[in-house]
Amino acid sequence: METITVALATMHGKQDQIQPAFQKYLGWEITVAEIDTDLFGSFDGIKPRELSPKDAALAKAREASKTKGLRFGLGSEGTIGHHPGLPFMTSDFEVLALVDQELELELVVTHLSPNIHAQRLVVDDGFDVEAAVKSFDLPNHAVIVLIETETDRGSIKGIKTQSDLEAAIAEARQQSTKQIILESDFRAMNSPSRQQNIAACAEKLAKRIAVKCPECDYLGFGAVGYEFGLKCRDCGYANEHLAQLEINGCISCQHEQRVDLGRDYAEPAECMQCNP
């Protein structure tokens, strides 16, 4: 069987997290497309992100495929912010997209995790560098120093030692006319906690790709939606927020299958009528 090679857009070593799952479940090889992915937005905010995470991942995937002249392209995008269900917790939302340029098809998976080392500090008069080193988990993770003037923004990235942090802060104090901010460097090669989430997302995508459509045999057959309206055991009220069926589908021929999630009724405690 011919080995498929897929082009990955990355400057930050993401192939190390993605290749193992693609090799294990698919036998596919990853090749890196040398493109400037910061053009799609950067974590330091110097280049604003103008696309949604999904659209950015797809744009990177298409550019990777085009650059390497390959049928399949991969793009990855991560967003660090408030957890959607736990607003006081920081989370990592990873998106991994595969495009088939020959058939103009796309497959996107996501992974949400609270397991991300994320810190942000303001450098004030009583700033404690040693405490900052511990807070940012240097040298395991890295930190970015943000420098901002009235007319420009800049940053010093990839800082992993106390001496480099002290030097970067000194440089920032000479240049900045505003507050000096330290933030975790979330680029993949500098964030082991994010690396784990990228690997988990890659495993989801590889497993999904491995499932063929029972109708047309195209790759990536899997969940495309849910059918809601699970009824309450006591009063029969249909809860529009509880799924009763999973809809599996093909991204090529649109064939669908409905899969029972194994729940006949919702419990009264989940019911908006019995437990408003």
For residues 264 and 177, membership in a common domain is answered with no
Q: Residue 246 belongs to what domain range?
A: 222-270
Q: Which residues contact 81 (CB under 8 A, 6 or more apart)?
A: 90, 91, 93
61 within a domain of the structure (yes/no) = yes
Structural domains counted in the chain: 3
For residues 104 and 154, membership in a common domain is answered with no
Kindly report the average pLDDT of the chain as a whole number: 93
Residue 95 has pLDDT above 70, yes or no: yes
For residues 49 and 147, membership in a common domain is answered with no
Question: What is the percent of the chain where pLDDT is above 90?
Answer: 78
For residues 9 and 96, membership in a common domain is answered with yes
Q: How confident is the model at residue 136 (pLDDT cuts 50, 70, 90)?
A: very high
Q: What are residue 112's DSSP bridge partners?
A: 93
For residues 59 and 160, membership in a common domain is answered with no
For residue 1, what pLDDT is reported? Answer: 53
For residues 77 and 202, membership in a common domain is answered with yes
275 within a domain of the structure (yes/no) = no
